C-alpha cells in the first residue's frame, strides 16, 4: 500500500539458522553462564579477538551437549572439553589468557585429563612459542611470546596468508582422542603463520610449501598410520631421551590432508595425550 509495488505474498518472520558475525551472535550474550548440567559439557574460551566460532555450531545440534562461552577463570568450571577457537590476533589473545588467569585455569584442567582442543589461532597458542619476525600481526618486527607449552611446537608468522579448502583422514591419535582415528575431516584454512615441531626448521622456503606442520631437519620421525592407506610421516625433533614413553604422551600429527586447490598432501595439526590442535576450520562438521 505504501510503496505502490505489486505484492505476491508476505514471507513470515522466522528464526533462520544462518551463521552469525563474530561479535554479534546471541550465543555470546550468554558468556559465563552456569553449566546447564547436560551429560557433555564443552567450554569455549571467548577470546577478545574471537573469530570463526561457527566451527562450533555443530555442537548446538546435539541435545546432550552443553556448549557455553567463558571469558573469566571463575566461570570455567570443570567441563569435559575446553576449546580455544580462532582469533584475529593470536599474540594479543595469548597475552590476555595469561594476564586474566585463564591460562592457569586451562592448564589445571589439562592436568586433570580434560580434553584441550585448539583451532587455528587457538592451535598456535598451545605450542611453546609464537613469533612475528616481520611484524605481520603485531605491527612490531621481532615480537615473540611464550605459548601455553601444551604441545612441542613453535609458530612463526610469515608474509603469506594461507587460504584453501582441505579434506583428509584423522591419523593414529592415542588416548582420549583415539576414537577419532580413521574418520574423515573436511574444512578450510585461513591463517597467517606456520607451526612446526622445531623452531629452527621454520624458514621462508619451507613456509612457502604450504605445509601446516613443517619437516624437521633433525633425526627422529613420527608416523601417522591411516587405515587402509599408505602412512604419512610427520618429522619431528626427538632425541632418544626425549621420546615419549607411553601412548598417552606420544606426539602425532592430527590428520593427513589434501589441499583441494593444489592437490598437495600434508600433515595437519598436532596431538599429544589429551591436547590437540588443528588449522582446519569446520573440523567438527563431518
Q: Which residue numbers are catalytic?
A: 120, 281
Cα distance between residue 168 and residue 267, in whole Å = 9
Contact criterion met (CB below 8 Å) for 33 and 43: no
What three-state secondary structure class fits 249?
helix
CB neighbour list of residue 228: distance below 8 Å, 6 or more residues apart: none
Q: E strands within the chain?
A: 40-45, 50-51, 65-70, 81-84, 86-87, 115-119, 129-132, 143-146, 154-170, 184-196, 213-214, 221-224, 232-235, 251-252, 255-259, 265-268, 270-272, 275-278
Q: What is the DSSP string of 117-140?
A: EEETHHHHHTSSEEEETT-TTTSS
Amino acid at each position: 500500500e505504501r510503496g505502490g509495488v505489486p505484492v505476491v505474498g508476505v514471507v513470515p518472520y522466522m528464526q533462520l539458522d544462518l551463521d552469525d558475525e563474530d561479535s554479534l551472535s546471541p550465543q555470546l550474550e550468554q558468556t559465563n553462564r552456569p553449566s546447564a548440567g547436560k551429560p557433555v559439557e564443552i567450554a569455549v574460551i571467548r577470546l577478545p579477538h574471537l573469530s570463526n566460532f561457527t566451527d562450533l555450531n555443530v555442537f548446538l545440534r546435539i541435545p546432550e551437549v552443553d556448549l557455553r562461552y567463558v571469558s573469566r577463570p571463575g566461570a570455567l568450571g570443570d567441563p569435559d572439553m575446553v576449546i580455544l577457537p580462532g582469533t584475529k590476533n593470536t599474540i594479543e589473545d595469548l597475552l590476555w589468557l595469561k594476564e586474566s588467569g585463564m591460562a592457569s585455569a586451562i592448564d589445571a584442567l589439562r592436568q586433570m585429563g580434560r580434553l584441550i582442543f585448539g583451532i587455528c589461532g587457538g592451535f598456535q597458542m598451545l605450542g611453546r612459542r609464537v613469533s612475528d619476525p616481520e611484524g605481520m600481526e603485531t605491527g612490531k618486527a621481532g615480537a615473540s611470546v611464550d605459548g601455553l607449552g601444551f604441545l612441542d611446537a613453535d609458530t612463526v608468522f610469515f608474509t603469506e596468508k594461507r587460504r584453501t579448502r582441505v579434506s583428509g583422514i584423522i591419523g593414529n591419535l592415542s588416548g582420549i582422542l583415539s576414537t577419532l582415528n580413521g574418520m574423515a575431516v573436511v574444512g578450510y584454512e585461513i591463517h597467517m603463520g606456520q607451526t612446526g615441531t622445531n623452531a629452527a626448521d621454520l624458514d621462508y622456503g619451507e613456509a612457502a610449501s604450504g605445509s601446516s606442520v613443517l619437516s624437521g631437519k633433525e633425526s627422529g620421525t613420527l608416523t601417522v598410520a591411516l587405515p587402509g592407506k599408505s602412512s604419512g610421516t610427520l618429522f619431528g625433533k626427538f632425541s632418544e631421551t626425549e621420546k615419549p614413553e607411553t601412548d598417552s604422551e606420544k606426539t602425532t600429527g592430527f590428520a593427513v590432508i589434501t589441499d583441494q586447490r593444489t592437490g598437495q598432501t600434508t600433515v595437519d595439526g598436532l596431538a599429544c595425550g589429551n591436547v590437540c590442535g588443528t588449522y582446519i576450520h569446520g573440523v567438527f562438521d563431518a
